[in-house]
Structure 1
Amino acid sequence: MPDRAFAVAGLAALAGGLLAALAFPPYGFLPGLAGFALILWSLSRPAGRPVRAAALRGGLAGLGYFAVSVSWIVEPFLVDERTYGWMAPIALVLMAGGLSLFWAAAAAVWGRLGARGLPGLLAFAACLSGAEWLRGHVLTGFPWNLPGEAWPAGSPLSQGAALVGAYGLTWVTLVLCASPAWILAPGEPARRTARMAAVAGAFLAFHAWGQARIADVPAGPPGPLVRIVQADIDQKTKWRPENLEGIFRTYLDLTGRPSAKRPALVVWPEGALPAVINDLLTPGSPWRGALAQALAPGQVLAMGANRVELDDRDALTYRNSLIFLEGTGQDLALAGVYDKHRLVPFGEFLPLGDLAGRIGLRSLVHMPEDFTAGPPPVPLTIPGLPGVQPMICYEALFPGFTRAAGRRGGARPDWILNVSNDAWFGRASGPWQHLNITRYRAIEEGLPIVRSTPTGVSAVIDSSGRTVGPVLGLGASGVIDLPLPPPRPPTPYVRWGDLPFLLLLVLSAALAGHKEIFIGLANRQRRSRARRDPDGAVP
């Protein structure tokens, strides 16, 4: 029955999205990536209005995918559950539903093209990866859990990000993982075998290249010793004013923990202390004195902190910053400041702020003031350390962030420092997914990353996206002391950016738009076989 077939196709799309999302941490169910084949199969089912049906099925696939991928969005509302807990399911529905619109639009375009077979597979990859690029750029952008980042970071297949970036790897992933829908399409067994061999060959070649890249360990002496501090202070505890002194003392104790060699750099996470840094660093402040005593001369502390400054109109502006302080023996010297450039909507600023305030949305989300974005980032030079590109929390989501900063500043950094307050995610999937995404930035750039969070997951990441040494997981308190891993030479992605991805989209669109070429080639092949077998043994 047509209605039943339509419902089956919709359920298949929804299930495909759910399965694909289970490939990401902490689930790691890589067979779930076959869900993309289920989505493509669903889109290919006949319908009276093919474009409308494709949009609906694509939206259902996106709803399933994002309902799993951003399920952590409920956690911030549970920090003060009595006041905001009722908003948690609404936030999940709105976020998953809103993000699924990108997939609905991609599916509608695919349905309009009307391509099937290999052109249809390539068109599916192009439409969906193009929609994911838009998701990462429209308004503020939110490229969380791009399909290309489903491979465990540091694995051979993840190394493709060094070639074509996360968006290009998304195209590759969609082609590979949706290919069963093409391989198993009705046709001759010999043709299915050839399709399977082609996909398997591409998969193995990609895997072999990634394995070779991992084995090609960059040469160079160990970098400066870095200490990552994770104090395991949750959000409920942190924002009680009476806890400030105890939290500060915890960070100082971990900073001063004895080690065989003194770290050149100590890293505290984003928003480590529930205070404005201006108050703590006022000359003569006991907080400043305690920090000065905790740092040896020449030792640097990188601390995520909120700070206040006056703008050109003498109005207060709030910044989410990474402050670099150098010990002088008696006091502290300011060694550098990075102000977060990409702010989180509804977390650090309210879109349409004046209008949102008038309709009461500002009080609803408990945001008395917006943060102000910092200038476009450039690498920093900090005494005693290689050139560094800071990256605060949400900024780690964006492919090409460090590449653009290096071009803007005229020099490529030697490493990336990522501080993040993942305590908002609670103990859900968010912290593990955020770590995985951050590791992809190391692969793309060919640079090591030092990552510090208050409650996990903190780690040192090498230029292949692998964690090095111990990892401080969720709920752990302690330090990581490791030398900075060496960088690689600039990757193809650093040189070309998203140009290869754009070329893949253009090629896919060209082939999908000229599908008659494939039909003609197939007909020619049939005629050639018929001439070789005039008795008609070959259909």
Structure 2
Amino acid sequence: MSRITNGLWDRGWVRILCALAAGLAAALVHPPFGIIPGLLAYPALMILTERSARLRGGFAMGWWFGFGYFLLGCWWVAEAFFVNPAQAWMAPIAVCLLPAGIGLFTGVATLLYRLIKPSGVWRFLAFTLAFSGLEWVRGHVLTGFPWNPVGSSWLAGSAMSQMASVVGVYGLGLLTLLGVSALGPVMTAWSQRRAQGVALGGLALLAGMWGFGAARLSSEEVTPSPVLARIVQADVSQQSKWSADAYEQILHRYLSLTSQPSERVPDVVIWPESALPDLANNIFAGPDAARIAGSLRQGQTLLAGLSRAERQANGKVVYFNSLIELNSLGAGGMQIGQTYDKYRLVPFGEYLPLGDLMGQVGLRRIVQMPEDLSAGPVPQPMSLARLPRVQALICYEGLFPGFTDGTPQGRPQWIVNVSNDAWFGQTSGPVQHLNMASYRAIETGLPLARATPTGISAMIDPLGRIVDGSRIGHGQARAVDVFIPTPLAVTLFGRFGHLPYALGMLLLGVGVALTAYRRIVSYRR
């Protein structure tokens, strides 16, 4: 029987299918699926890599794992190409090219693990080091694509997610990988006591993470602040923006929801990213500025996600994706306040990497605008005229840990995340986007208000949980009034950022080096 099994594992196509299946299983851990046993895919990938006779086989295991992982995790990108029927033919190409490209990172991770070729029960340390390190690299190359990191496998707001307040989402992924990968040695040596001990240690680590999170959820008291926010979701699909009379209909929806009566007048109204299909320059210069001002009550502030243009000194016009503060002066008057310009742009969505070269080969059509958007300055909190300081994160920026200053000196009181998830319809994309953005609240101990045109919009408390009654689901046109929760004390991640994660990686590196040294010394003897 063992000969048959070993012979089967020697066949490359069998290992490829297993690696692909493992990637799909790992993707099923993330919302909206939540199949936690899929975490066993990581020790399975470790074993598959070890069984590869050559380095290219080790790379192939990681690449096929990554292809399956991102194929299921990012299939929603196809939806964006159906907005314009002329681009629909590119949908299957994009769905395959994206995981094929991102899979290179997991491929390099397993290649490094195969290159190190560790042995013994502590080899899971090297696997965790390589995989977590390449995940961090994935989040930074070409502005980064930190979609579905291992840490966000846990539902934001759950007990397991709370460790992100200490080590961030990358550190949470590192600990998760340590815990589940420790089961790898016992999978190949059931009766070996050292392997059993390591597996028990991994389970103890996971249990400790849960215990910390449960204690934090039970001990931290979240209370509402006196600031009342109105989150507006007008249910505007991306396709509907292209019709001739779309602008008037969309503006009417937002104005109606903004001005709907309530027992108490909200202090701030939040419109999502790209709320109106026109430049802010045109809107504010025309009669619609008075209509927007008329929908606000005196003393109210509107935070509106709008695109804007700016003419530079050399005469060139550049475009920004912005969040603009508009303060009501009463009697139809309105004052433009602070403007936040999006800093981290979406590759192939808001700008084209190597734009001149790719434009020459016809890839400019991938980008929805004829011109690249320009990036704003490094994110800084907005000092609003009538509201607590807020950190704006526009769409894609909500994926990145560390953009919000969590130190006592520069800390805002809340985060606002406006997004245009209408591009992705009722797919898993908006659900996962909400989950990952909610980790910014856990990491910083700050509440997060999220507004999208079609869902999912919500108020997130500082522990990453959706405030009761604030969730606006897919396809709903609603405005919810919710008091912004008060922030918690500064978290360890807020104080030290990625330093705990870096120290963890350093300790792992030392551990791997020591095990390698002991193996070399033993071999020489």
TM range (shorter): over 0.9
Determine the structure 2 residue equivalent to 1:325.
Answer: 326
Deviations 1:419-454, CA, capped at 9 Å, x for gaps: 000000111110000000001111111111000000
Residues 165, 399 of structure 1: 8 Å contact kept: yes
Deviations 1:4-29, CA, capped at 9 Å, x for gaps: 44333222221111100011111121
How far did residue 200 of structure 1 move?
Answer: 2.4
Determine the structure 2 residue equivalent to 1:448.
Answer: 447
Matches within 5 A, 1:108-119: 108-119=111-122
Cα–Cα, structure 1 residues 423 and 497, in superposed 2: closer, same or farther, change >3 Å? same
More displaced 10-residue stretch of structure 1: 91-100 or 499-508 = 499-508
Cα–Cα, structure 1 residues 35 and 187, in superposed 2: closer, same or farther, change >3 Å? closer
How far did residue 355 of structure 1 move?
Answer: 2.3
Residues 75, 425 of structure 1: 8 Å contact kept: yes
How far did residue 314 of structure 1 move?
Answer: 2.2
Q: C-alpha root-mean-square deviation of aligned residues, in Å? A: 2.1
Unmatched 5+ residue regions in structure 2? 1-6
Cα–Cα, structure 1 residues 384 and 522, in superposed 2: closer, same or farther, change >3 Å? farther
Is 1:259 matched with 2:268?
Answer: no
2:75 pairs with one of 64, 71, 84 = 71
1:61 pairs with one of 54, 59, 65 = 65
Residues 218, 486 of structure 1: 8 Å contact kept: no
Determine the structure 1 residue equivalent to 2:197.
Answer: 194
Residues 420, 453 of structure 2: 8 Å contact kept: yes
1-structure distance, mates of 2:312, 2:221:
44
**One-letter amino acid of the counterpart of residue 422, structure 1:** D
Determine the structure 1 residue equivalent to 2:457.
Answer: 458
More displaced 10-residue stretch of structure 1: 3-12 or 234-243 = 3-12
1-structure distance, mates of 2:476, 2:224:
30
Determine the structure 1 residue equivalent to 2:305.
Answer: 304
Determine the structure 1 residue equivalent to 2:92.
Answer: 89
2-structure distance, mates of 1:291, 1:356:
40
Residues 16, 37 of structure 1: 8 Å contact kept: no
Cα–Cα, structure 1 residues 221 and 448, in superposed 2: closer, same or farther, change >3 Å? closer
Residues 126, 504 of structure 1: 8 Å contact kept: no
Determine the structure 2 residue equivalent to 1:533.
Answer: none
**One-letter amino acid of the counterpart of residue 80, structure 2:** P
Residues 228, 483 of structure 2: 8 Å contact kept: yes
Cα–Cα, structure 1 residues 353 and 520, in superposed 2: closer, same or farther, change >3 Å? closer
2-structure distance, mates of 1:521, 1:117:
14
Determine the structure 2 residue equivalent to 1:80.
Answer: 84
2-structure distance, mates of 1:27, 1:428:
12
How far did residue 376 of structure 1 move?
Answer: 1.3
Q: Which has the larger radius of gyration?
A: 1
Q: How many residues align?
A: 515
Deviations 1:212-253, CA, capped at 9 Å, x for gaps: 111222466624000000010101112223121111111111
TM-score, normalising length: structure 2: 0.94
* Partner SS state of residue 325, structure 2: strand
Cα–Cα, structure 1 residues 334 and 262, in superposed 2: closer, same or farther, change >3 Å? same
1:123 pairs with one of 114, 118, 126 = 126
TM-score, normalising length: structure 1: 0.92
Determine the structure 1 residue equivalent to 2:422.
Answer: 423
2:395 pairs with one of 388, 393, 396 = 393
1-structure distance, mates of 2:177, 2:274:
37
2:43 pairs with one of 37, 42, 46 = 37
* Partner SS state of residue 76, structure 2: helix
Determine the structure 2 residue equivalent to 1:537.
Answer: none
Cα–Cα, structure 1 residues 7 and 362, in superposed 2: closer, same or farther, change >3 Å? closer
Residues 218, 487 of structure 1: 8 Å contact kept: no
Cα–Cα, structure 1 residues 482 and 115, in superposed 2: closer, same or farther, change >3 Å? same
Deviations 1:133-156, CA, capped at 9 Å, x for gaps: 000111111100001110011111
**One-letter amino acid of the counterpart of residue 482, structure 1:** V
* Partner SS state of residue 185, structure 2: helix
Residues 113, 512 of structure 1: 8 Å contact kept: no
2-structure distance, mates of 1:109, 1:398:
26
How far did residue 384 of structure 1 move?
Answer: 2.1
Unmatched 5+ residue regions in structure 1? 524-539
Cα–Cα, structure 1 residues 519 and 463, in superposed 2: closer, same or farther, change >3 Å? same
More displaced 10-residue stretch of structure 1: 262-271 or 497-506 = 497-506
**One-letter amino acid of the counterpart of residue 307, structure 1:** R
